[in-house]
Chains A and B, each alone.
Chain A
Amino acid sequence: MSNLLDIKYEKFKLENGLEVILYQNRMLPLVSVNLWYRVGSANERPGKTGFAHLFEHMMFQGSENVGKEKHFRYIQEAGGTLNGSTSLERTNYFETLPSNNLDLALWLESDRMGFMLEGLTQEKLDNQKDVVMNERRQRYENQPYGRAWEIIFSNLFTPDFPYHWPTIGWMEDIKNFNLNDIKEFFKTYYAPNNCSIVIAGDIDDLAVKKSIEKYFGSIPGNGEVQKITKTPKELTEDIILIHKDNVQLPRLYLCWMSDKVYGLDDPALDVLSDILGSSKNSRLYKSLVYEQQIAQDVSAFQYSANLTGMFFVIITAKPDGDLQLLKKNVEDEIARLIDSGVTEDELLRTKNGIKSSYIYSLQNIEQLANQINNYNFYLNEPNSFNYDLDRYNSLDVIQIQKIAKKYLSKPKLELSVIPKRKKTL
């Protein structure tokens, strides 16, 4: 088991600062190329929100030697899949394709890393602004409860704190971006020294190294990007919010500030969330959905990032359900947990679930490559699967109880999403 999770890799840096991580795994004749640029929505500022994400879109619009749509077309023609995503603190790009076409992915990635601006036009930007505005409409505004996240983030954090706005950005900001914004952003953040590339799968180390040097070696490095080191302001009292939405079932969101990703308390918060609200036997599900049947569904999770973490409990009520009653129930369950702790059985069940999920996650080379980049980004050690799992295995019931007390007795944010009243005739 621990052998399976102990991956052999090679890591080195090109002269221009690009970090390269190679991981050979020949389960299929596939290779996954995965780049993490150290930039995300946390690097934005008020008035320019959503830019890291819009920029990600622009990275698929071609570069000096790659025409619009060609990035997609070439990879697909080779039988590959591709995508990218933007989060608070990183933007990733990835291709998975038959291993005999690895150079194609390296060529495409290096062309946009080095020569993206040469392919840029106003027309492309206008088009992708429209696409992203439609993405915002589709994924957030026309989605039941879809605006909950940005309401929570923008109220939990002060306007100067970089998690205050949503990753997709505010509509007004998306509308206003211009070509200069793109150029500035590219020059600041899209340089080899601000990126790590993982190449995982059916690879030949020597050939890959040659190709990496060939495609990426001549792209000049850039000045160091400054790390963001802000600390969020703790809540001094509960924040209570109500939002009316196009929904028929009321839903309650409770959110506490918690520990940051890979922080000392981060694993215990994960375990705590699992015991509180993940499966049928979790405390909140059992009480609210199974026994009292006053809720339709329950979830709890720790969402952690570089600067801080957030601990969520989310409950959807039955039609016309009373959110205050649900809240009272959650508070009682939490009080009970702080008071008498969790059982050995609960902890063991959670640990076993986490252990098997690590094994299951090894099935897919794309996911594996991304996880290796994740470990490298946050822990500076790509081979951290065992370390990561040990964070959970080493926990005992006392620690879970302590963590519950430390975080869940603090002030919290409470958002009630309630149905817009139906018009009476």
Chain B
Amino acid sequence: MNEFRKNKPTAIGEIDFSLPNVRYITLDNGINLIFIRKDNLPVVQMELLLNAGSCYEPADKEGLAFLTAMLLDEGAAEYNALELNNEIEKIGSSLTISSDKDYIYISMLSLSEYIERSIELFSKIVVEPNLSVQDFGRENNKLLTRIIQTKDNPAALASNIFDTIIYKNSPYSSPVSGSEKSVSGLEIGDVKDFYFSHSSNSSLTLVVVGSEPEEKIISLLQKHLVLSRKGDLMKNIIINPNTDDKKRVYLIDSEDAGQSEIRIGHIGGKRNSPDYFAKHIMNSILGGQFTSRINLNLREDKGYTYGAGSYFDYNKFAGSFVVTTSVQTEVTSNAIKEILKELAGIQSGVSSDELQFAKAYIIKKFPSLFETYSQISNNIVMSVLHNLEKNYFDTYLDNVRKVSIENVNNAALKYIHPENSVILVHGNKNLIEPQLKKLFNSDIIEIDKDGLVVG
């Protein structure tokens, strides 16, 4: 055996990485443009953020933002839905429209040789979407079917219902797709009102990452993205944590379930809080990556699962902390016990080795977060969504380095609450309920696939 095999090789020198230059520009019509020149491929990525996520939906109109996103590319200006799609595909562009609790996102990836046509088509969608009654009928029906479909997917269902419980009585509680009842009640007028009142010029942010010069992008946008929508509906939404702590163990019965889907957690604070980096490091040790405590315990030691982890999920006005895993039915309560043990464990502190590892991981991974056009765009979108400082990425590495072990331990005490966690299990009730009863004194609340309490 060669000696060199026994020891891990060390890194040679330092790598040289500089952040892309970010340009913040306000177009003449008031729309915010964030532009990054990236030249290594003839590609342009555009993404528009509309303050039109599900948290802005009027009461009883859950699913409206989602449906609006579905309808936006169903025809625009002189093109019906099929023609519009054909025009986009003819130039090899790919358009994606999605929505979450905070925003609707319209994004398009194009080849630079078709930059003008891409901006023209993209603008038509924003400026003159058809939003016709006929397309509404079809898409509304598709959404209703999709809601039914989601109930067949244990992981998606568990995550939706977990949010419903922890964000109870707040605009973040309903699933973005809405319910069968709310979506059946929607009309085309709702979609039009919602879209036009949530797309005023000054509320729009467009992120462009591409191989074309800034002046060219600006002039093409001035030419095609002609919009004069007034008003600003940026509401500040306050989310109160669900402190109904007597009700904490929830069960969704699925009699033929092949595993138990588990979600454990609670409200977890906002993304732009000053102790974010301590939180991030703490979670990286707890459950944020493969060699975290939770995954090593549940997967690599116990073999209960294919994978387990934890994360802070950040929406604009509130976030949550959640542990997620899917385990063999027979070991459901053992898995929950181990997770709660890890949550309590992190509160007793982390070791300096763990801290060092997590910092190295986060710091050295940084350059790879700026590899693709869409990664760069997503980073910018994230910073806009959470209203981060403009120098956020410039100071990122220093901010990670500065975190002390006390900071991490304080973050654990402040943001991890095993005793107040909601515990949700989706699985075979007959096999799970007896296990849960042994583990918890509190009532086990059965809920159906719509998130409503049974009985």
Listed in ascending order, the chain A residues whose CB lies under 8 Å from chain B are 1, 4, 27-30, 64-65, 68-69, 72-74, 76-81, 96-101, 103-104, 106-107, 111, 115, 126-135, 137-139, 141-144, 202, 214, 218, 246-249, 279-281, 286, 289-290, 293, 296, 316, 318-319, 348-349, 352-353, 355-357, 359-360, 362-365, 420
Contacts and interface: CB of A to CB of B under 8 A. Distances in A.
A355 B152 contact: no
Among A77, A202, A365, residue most surrounded by chain B Cβ atoms (within 10 Å): A77
Contacts of A356: 91-94, 110-111
Nearest to A139: B306
A321 B237 CA distance: 42
Contacts of A246: 152, 254, 256-257
Interface string B274-316: 0000000000000001110000100111111110000000000
Contacts of A280: 81-82, 85
A375 to B, nearest CB: 19
B146 A28 contact: no
Contacts of A30: 367-368, 371
B363 interface: yes
Nearest to B328: A134
B90 A349 contact: yes
Given A281-B82, A319-B145, A359-B42, A79 B9 contact: no
A86 to B, nearest CB: 14
A359 B370 CA distance: 18
Contacts of A72: 290-291
Contact of B43 (A76, A101, A360): A360
Nearest to B151: A248
A115 B374 CA distance: 40
A78 B9 CA distance: 11
B357 interface: yes
Given A30-B371, A76-B361, A138 B303 contact: no
Interface string B92-117: 11100000000000000111000000
Main secondary structure of the interface of B (DSSP, over half): mixed
B89 A77 contact: no
B364 A134 contact: no
Contacts of A79: 360-361, 363-368
A134 B368 contact: no
B392 interface: no
A77 B327 contact: no
B11 A78 contact: yes
Interface of B: 1-2, 4-9, 11-17, 40-43, 81-82, 85-86, 89-94, 109-111, 138, 141-142, 145-146, 148-149, 151-154, 254, 256-259, 261, 289-291, 296, 299-306, 326-328, 357, 360-361, 363-368, 370-374
Nearest to B148: A248
6 contacts: A29-B15, A74-B8, A280-B82, A280-B85, A281-B82, A349-B90
Contact of B41 (A99, A316, A359): A359
A248 B306 CA distance: 26
Given A81-B368, A100-B12, A281-B85, A249 B149 contact: yes
Contacts of B259: 134, 137-138, 141-142
Contact of B367 (A29, A103, A319): A29
A238 to B, nearest CB: 28
Contacts, number: 208
Nearest to A74: B8
Contact of A100 (B11, B81, B152): B11
A214 B302 CA distance: 37
B120 to A, nearest CB: 17
B370 A28 contact: yes
B85 A360 contact: no
A321 to B, nearest CB: 10
B41 A80 contact: no
A29 B361 contact: no
A69 B85 contact: no
Contacts of A420: 256
B289 A76 contact: yes
A100 B13 contact: yes
A360 B109 contact: yes
A108 to B, nearest CB: 8
Contacts of A360: 43, 94, 109
A243 to B, nearest CB: 13
A290 B82 contact: yes
B66 to A, nearest CB: 16
A359 B290 CA distance: 32
Nearest to B92: A356
Given A106-B9, A214-B4, A348-B90, 8 more contacts: A28-B371, A29-B16, A65-B6, A77-B357, A131-B305, A248-B148, A279-B89, A352-B92
A349 B89 contact: yes
A248 B256 contact: no
A365 B368 CA distance: 10
A359 B259 CA distance: 41
B406 to A, nearest CB: 23
Given A127-B301, A249-B149, A363 B2 contact: no
B149 A248 contact: yes
Contacts of A137: 258-259, 306, 326, 328
A96 B371 CA distance: 12
A24 to B, nearest CB: 14
A59 to B, nearest CB: 14
Nearest to A145: B152
